[in-house]
Amino acid sequence: MPPRWTRHTPVVSTILSAFELIASRENLVPGTQQYRNRRRQYVSSEVRRIFSAIFGVDVDSLEGWKSLCIYVLGTTGKNGVRLEELQTIEDCQKVRVSSFRSVFDDEAILTEESNTLSLQKLKNKFINLIDLVEFAERGETLPRRLVFHSKTGLSEYTRNTTQFFPKEDAKEVPLLKHFLITIEA
């Protein structure tokens, strides 16, 4: 699988690479409905599995919210979070001005209908869920080049990398479903 596009450095998606192996083994032809359906099912399953394992599913879990702040913003630099600032879920949502968002798709296109959750610390930070779970699974903070400051930037990145997540599948993970937004097509 070709590397994903980023502003400067290609990043290889382990989830998408693993799917390509499955598709090859199952003789799935790219571009067919069978290929798209299987890809959606696989990506959805993997993202939900990894997200749930790292961040949990409980919207009332302080540890889950802390982990989200840490993996998106890091703990160093002027934009990093300070663990001592995160004593409650409200702290995770109120520290500085911000909001965390991600991309979801419906039939492999950018969605225009979804919900929004505004989190103070993470406002105007737009990230792709596949990137989030892959970096978090490795214990790494998202590189700044993968944290976008506009829906437009994230939308362009998502189209170029074809890293879509089926929005309807987020409902199965209560914490994850809070990160639906409206994406510019």
**What is this structure's pTM?**
0.77
Each residue's pLDDT tens digit, 165-184 = 887 888 888 888 777 665 56
Name the one residue in this structure whose structure tokens are 């225009």: 112
- Calculate what percentage of the chain has a pLDDT beyond 70: 73
Average pLDDT over residues 132-139: 93
What is the reported pLDDT for 168?
Answer: 81
Q: For residue 166, what pLDDT is reported?
A: 80
Evaluated on CA atoms 103, 117, 65, 91, the torsion sign reads: positive
Q: What is the domain partition of the chain in residue ranges?
A: 14-177
Average pLDDT over residues 98-103: 42
Rg (CA), the chain: 16
User: Would you place residue 158 in the very low, low, confident or very high pLDDT band (cuts 50, 70, 90)?
Assistant: confident
- CB distance 64 to 55 below 8 Å: yes
Lowest model confidence (mean pLDDT) among 12-21, 25-34, 110-119, 133-142: 110-119
State pLDDT tens for residues 20-63: 999 999 999 999 999 999 999 999 999 999 999 999 998 899 99
Is 5:153 a contact under the CB 8 Å cutoff?
no
Pairing between strand 100-101 and 125-126?
A: parallel
- What is the structure's pLDDT at 94? 63
